[in-house]
A and B are shown apart, each in its own frame.
Chain A
Amino acid sequence: MILESTIRLPFSYAAGTVGSRFLIALREDQKILGARCTSCSTVTAPPRPFCSSCSRTVTELVEVGPDGTLEAWTNQPGNGVFGLILLDGADTPIVHRILGTINPGTVNAEAINMTPGARVTAMFAKDRTGRITDIEGFIVEQDDP
């Protein structure tokens, strides 16, 4: 005998002091902020309230990206390509979608020809709502633009 059931789970999460500044800068200014640790100088992006290297409380935010370098990626059939992107000015990579290359006007995921170290740039959403998806993903820069 099996009982069937479905649960709906709505939540409201506080982004916190550092997370809120990141999301507001993203939504209002299309800027990506990282957190610089005043103790060990590590810049984490997205910014963490506590340094991921030395655990000290972080208060200084700096602009990073929107260009960066692709460190690793995985192609998940049906779900898209995800990558670790080291944004210029940051010391730790961000996890995000890799959208492909730009053929005039359209994103062409099929044309992705990636190698570690490939240069990428953030593509911002037109309608931004203060979420990490205000960055739609990252475009791989082509050798011959």
Chain B
Amino acid sequence: MTSKMTPETTPETTSRAMTPVAIIGSGQTNHAKERSDVSQPELVREAVDAALQDAEILPEDIDAVIFSNMELFEGRAFPELWVAEGAYGNGKPVFKVATGGTSGTSACIAGFHQAGSGIFDTVLVVGFEKHSEGHTQTGMALVDPFWDRSVASGALGNFALSISQYVSEYMAGRGVTEEHAAQVAVKARRNAANNPHAHLQMPDLTVDEVLASRMLAEPLHLLDMCPQSDGAAAIVVASRDTARKRGKAAAWVHGAATRHDQPYLGDLDRRLVTTRAQRSAAASAYAQAGITKPLRDLDVAEIYEPATYAELAWYEALGFCEDGQAGRLIDDGITQMDGELPVNPSGGVLSTNPVGASGVIRVVEASTQLLGRAERRQVDGARTALATGYGVYAWSDVIVLRSEMP
């Protein structure tokens, strides 16, 4: 019944391990529906100061600044131009990385490569978004003008279509139900209640409430989807020598991979089922880090789940379980805070989504876990952490961090 398959895997790319680098500090703002108390550069300054303070360094110790942000969402050209001063960027190399929702993790990986290559020694990576200042739906509707703009309803409609394929295939033989998705929604918002930075904190949310929430686009209820948030996040990446000389705890990068895939929804068959870009990125990052059994080898994961069903699909794409077992994983509590592999102790993108920052937040949260500084959302003894990014159906990033140097 389904269309001709595009190849299940992307072509092999060279992915040799990079020279080790470390995240020596990180920070984030309090995220909310509206941070109208501050301007965009002021919002950025909050996250940057928190990261510099965490790293115990000064602005002049930063050699370069990399931004992540979604153009158009704030209705402002070259957003990095206007906010760079918030990151102490004047007089320094400053540029932006843009890969849709993946931008934050892609910017982090660009920072890893810069510090690892010796081009710069200490790199500041900053992601930010102020959805409240613009019109996100307009930005998202400015998709391909020939085919998608007039016949599909923005990101939500396209995403719902992709999920509809996933659900119909799974309902037919693989047992993922809307209750499984609702359990993901409940897990995220309850975890977020332990995260003082999170936007949506709903400690008492129930599966029934998720299923009763407004239908946005079948099968997606309102509470199946991520919110739009204002927020910023930052990490400080240092070369191996600099990180070692400090003699302080750090989160070391053991593996990192980015993948792009073609953009048209219909052209990549059963996109959310095959998830070939994410599988390819995971295979590369896991090989670099020596991860062979993710469920056993990882202690905590911060994954980019724009919708509940996406988290279930990622369980399989990231190798947390065999294909078709995602429902069992959530049923058995494996990914809960007290489970074998807690997924998104922060509450994830489902609880906080300033898009340009969301990927950076995954890395901030993963490294914070490894440093043991995650307070009420801390996973005890976490030594290996996963962070992922996902953007516009096309991009996938996978990062493996450890508390030990490679």
Contact = CB atoms under 8 A, between A and B. Distances in A.
B76 to A, nearest CB: 10
A72 to B, nearest CB: 4
Interface string A91-113: 11111110000000000000000
A137 B217 CA distance: 18
B4 interface: yes
B1 A74 contact: no
Given A77-B215, A96-B151, A72 B3 contact: no
A84 B216 CA distance: 18
Interface in A13-33: 13, 15, 19, 23
Nearest to A52: B267
Which has the most chain A C-beta neighbours within 10 Å: B145, B152, B268?
Answer: B152
Contacts of A7: 75
Interface in B45-72: none
Contacts of B151: 82, 95-97, 132-133, 137
Interface string B153-189: 1001110110111001000000000000000000000
A59 interface: no
Interface in B199-253: 215-220
B168 A116 contact: yes
Given A52-B6, A86-B3, A96-B151, A74 B266 contact: no
B7 interface: yes
Contact of B165 (A72, A91, A117): A72
B268 A52 contact: yes
A82 B266 contact: no
B152 A82 contact: yes
A48 B262 CA distance: 11
Interface in B356-398: none
A93 B3 contact: yes
Contact of B267 (A2, A48, A73, A82): A48
A72 B4 contact: no
A11 B145 contact: yes
Contacts of A91: 3-4
A86 B266 CA distance: 9
A92 B386 CA distance: 34
Contacts of B268: 52
Contacts of B142: 9
Nearest to A83: B161
Nearest to B165: A72
A5 B147 CA distance: 29
Contact of B217 (A69, A76, A93): A76
B155 to A, nearest CB: 12
B36 to A, nearest CB: 6
A72 B161 contact: yes
Contacts of A84: 161, 165, 265-266
B42 to A, nearest CB: 13
Most buried by B among A46, A48, A90, A132: A132
Contact of A53 (B6, B148, B156): B6
Nearest to A13: B145
Contacts of B14: none
B95 interface: no
Nearest to B150: A133
Nearest to B168: A116
B157 A82 contact: yes
A13 B150 contact: no
B68 to A, nearest CB: 23
B13 interface: no
Contacts of A79: 153, 157, 217
A44 B150 contact: no
A5 B164 contact: no
B150 A132 contact: yes
A9 B215 CA distance: 31
Contacts of A90: 3
The 4 A-B pairs with the shortest beta carbon distances in the complex, nearest first, are: A91-B4, A52-B267, A74-B160, A76-B217
11 contacts: A9-B142, A52-B6, A72-B164, A74-B157, A84-B161, A84-B165, A86-B2, A92-B6, A94-B266, A131-B150, A133-B150
Given A75-B218, A76-B156, 20 more contacts: A42-B4, A46-B147, A52-B262, A55-B262, A69-B1, A74-B157, A74-B160, A74-B217, A76-B157, A76-B216, A76-B217, A79-B153, A82-B152, A90-B3, A92-B4, A92-B266, A92-B267, A95-B265, A96-B152, A97-B151
Interface of A: 2, 5, 7, 9, 11, 13, 15, 19, 23, 42, 44, 46, 48, 52-53, 55, 69, 71-77, 79-80, 82-84, 86, 90-97, 116-117, 131-133, 137
